[in-house]
Structure 1
Amino acid sequence: MSETNTPASTFTSITATGNDSVTLADKIKKYKTKEFIDFLRKEENLKLSETIIKILEKEEVNGHDFFKTNKEDFCSIGLALGPATRLADFAKECKEKKLRAFFLYKSLKEVLAIYGISSDGMETIPLFSPQTHEVQDSNKYFKHCIENILFRMKNYGSLVLDNLEFMRNEYVLTILHTALHIAGDVVSKEFNMRPEYEIIGDKSCE
């Protein structure tokens, strides 16, 4: 007989629109002029000179204005064709670039406020006591998990400290999927895993 822990309550990721359609443009539109100018300064790929930055600052362009402005508008306020084109293209890219749920928020305080917690630190997040549930040896998911692990061990052998990480991960994934199915039955909910991939290196900036 085995035991597994399940949380007393479950949470669903929340986006501002209720789906995954939040874009970088939605975030930038909230910027006031100073915030928007600071944002552009950090975008090294735009290669904007301080002269260009000063013009945008003088015209008091904010995040909302940026997406109402086209290449011709940028040229009309004194920008050269090059930076005007780059800014217009960048605006289009921002409208297409999707953000993950909490990227829209500027601080932890804003995220915590969604859950009714007035704080800007993690120390005030209340802890919960997980409920313990017995898992019978006859549970179909548990039996499948054991069979799967034994099947893999015939090829990989027992887990030891010098096993390759991907081999260890295969065992971990088997146990994780089993736990999700068992927990889903216990709380009468369906759980889904959404793997996230991170690109590291120069390609991540393109």
Structure 2
Amino acid sequence: MSDTPVSTTSVTDSFALAEEIKTYKTTELISFLQLQNFELVEEDLEIIRKQRVNGRTFFKITKDELERHGMKLGPATTLVEFAKEYKELKQCIRELKRRLRNMGSVVADSNEAMRCEYISVILHASLHIVKRVTKKDLILEPHFEVIGEESTSHVDYAIKALEELICITEGKSYQVNISFAQNLIQCESALQVNKKKRKTLEDNFDYIYGIVTTATEWYFILYTTEKISCTSQESLNIRLVRSALNENSEAEKELCKNVKRVMEVIVGLLKDRLEVEREPSKKKNGFKGILKNRRFEIYYKKFTILRII
């Protein structure tokens, strides 16, 4: 084992690194943490050094344990959140592999029910992270009925916060263009549902996110009462193949990397949507702020946002 930890770039790109961290001795773990943008000071690192925290115990420590030994709330939270995100991603990959082992690879003629098995795993994992980070309640409802003014339809998955619909997901096996059209209609109906739940009659601005996916291809839609934006025709892709069951194979590494990318987008969009005020006028101002916020660009930097209406 080398005494020189990998760079920060490798941290964000390689799920396998987390397994490598487990092999770190205390000195190697400290060197690794110093490379991260965690804003740790020598006092924080000394606690890790004094308590002989190594790579394996790092993923088991709690915030209370770190604070009990003198670490401030900020760095303690940062370190524990980093460890939790790894564990949640690992759990998601484990569930995906279980389905690959039981159902096999997702291929062109795989049916919608099979694809939804994989979609559900990624959505549940993403929601779990959002709920933990925001401390807000979210509900994922499968086969949810959306009753709009002009149409009624069942969506594959609806994500709600305080009875307000914030994301609609359509899982399909093929014909993505048709799925886009269906998702747009569902988003419009969802905004109408949200409007009925509001008592105010002032500004009616609202927005919702839509996800169109085949489990292997993921597209994201931003639907507002003023315009519609979507990702470019280049989707985020996840290859769900049995060869990913082989430990340390290229297929496994690719699966981990791409699942992480999709989850980062879902988590980012839901988190931003939850942080916007519920009142339409405040929501509009908050939405404009998100568009200008560099944090929002993180989730869209690989996309070209297209105004289609």
Q: TM-score, normalised by structure 2?
A: 0.25
* Greater share of strand: 2
Name the structure, 1 or 2, with higher relative contact order (CA <8 Å, separation 6+). Answer: 1
Q: TM-score, normalised by structure 1?
A: 0.36
